[in-house]
């Protein structure tokens, strides 16, 4: 029987060129229980996965009962782990969208150093692409745009908009006082 579920992704992992973890998100929801609950189990899985894929020329493998898709960009490995019966085209679209969005966010300079310097944006991009194991977005432009909007909303409170708001409030108060003085 085919298992129809929204929970398509088991994990998303980004490793450097030596197999060290840069970012990892494991998801435990859905019909299948997560295999890698402790950090020790996760790191063991990641190191075995890295040694299996570092010399591979393909992009999809079946490993440890999971479908694993991966992409290598400069000195960074991107991995997406799904169920063995999951649609590889869907998983590939999610991974490609994430890798391209990362490239857009890092101004086409994807490497370990740049990724670590902008880790906050990369984690937001992961969350935009996949939420708790559910693939949400595959379009890299949308992912990058949503991440950029969040950064602009939370970080930049410009002085000009603050000054405009203060002027509007002062104008309203002056108008109210003027109206009261006319009524007296």
* pLDDT reading at 133 higher than 70: yes
184 within a domain of the structure (yes/no): no
In tens, the pLDDT along 9-61 reads 888 999 988 888 899 988 876 555 556 678 888 888 888 888 888 877 778 88
pLDDT of 53: 84
Q: Give the domain range for residue 50.
A: 9-155
What CATH number should be reported for the domain holding residue 110?
A: 3.30.450.60
* pLDDT reading at 64 higher than 50: yes
68 within a domain of the structure (yes/no): yes
Alpha carbon distances (Å) from 139 to 67, 86, 183: 22, 20, 60
75 within a domain of the structure (yes/no): yes
3-state secondary structure 65-112: CEEEEEEEECCEEEEEEECCCCCHHHHHHHHHHHHHHHHHHCCCCCCH
Count of domains forming the chain: 1
Distance CA 55, CA 159 (A): 52
pLDDT of 4: 67
181 within a domain of the structure (yes/no): no
174 within a domain of the structure (yes/no): no
175 within a domain of the structure (yes/no): no
Tell me which DSSP letter residue 7 carries.
B
Reported as a pLDDT band with limits 50, 70 and 90, residue 157 is very low
Reported as a pLDDT band with limits 50, 70 and 90, residue 72 is confident
CB proximity list for 58: less than 8 A, separation 6 or greater: none
pLDDT of 78: 92
Distance CA 121, CA 136 (A): 17
182 within a domain of the structure (yes/no): no
101 within a domain of the structure (yes/no): yes
């Amino acid at each position: 029987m085919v298992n129809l579920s929204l929970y398509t992704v088991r994990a998303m992992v980004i490793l450097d060129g030596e197999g060290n973890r840069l970012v990892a998100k494991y998801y435990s929801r859905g019909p299948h229980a997560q295999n890698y609950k402790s950090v020790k189990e996760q790191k063991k899985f990641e190191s075995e996965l890295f040694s299996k894929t570092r010399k591979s020329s393909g992009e999809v493998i079946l490993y440890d009962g999971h479908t694993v898709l991966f992409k290598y960009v400069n000195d960074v490995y991107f991995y997406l782990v799904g169920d063995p019966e999951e649609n590889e085209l869907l998983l590939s679209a999610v991974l490609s969208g994430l890798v391209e969005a990362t490239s857009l966010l890092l101004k086409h300079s994807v490497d370990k150093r740049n990724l670590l310097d902008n880790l906050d944006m990369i984690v937001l991009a992961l969350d935009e692409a996949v939420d708790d194991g559910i693939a949400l977005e595959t379009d890299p432009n949308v992912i990058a745009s949503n991440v950029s909007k969040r950064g602009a909303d939370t970080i930049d409170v410009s002085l000009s908009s603050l000054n405009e708001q203060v002027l509007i409030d002062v104008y309203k108060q002056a108008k109210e006082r003027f109206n009261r003085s006319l009524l007296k």
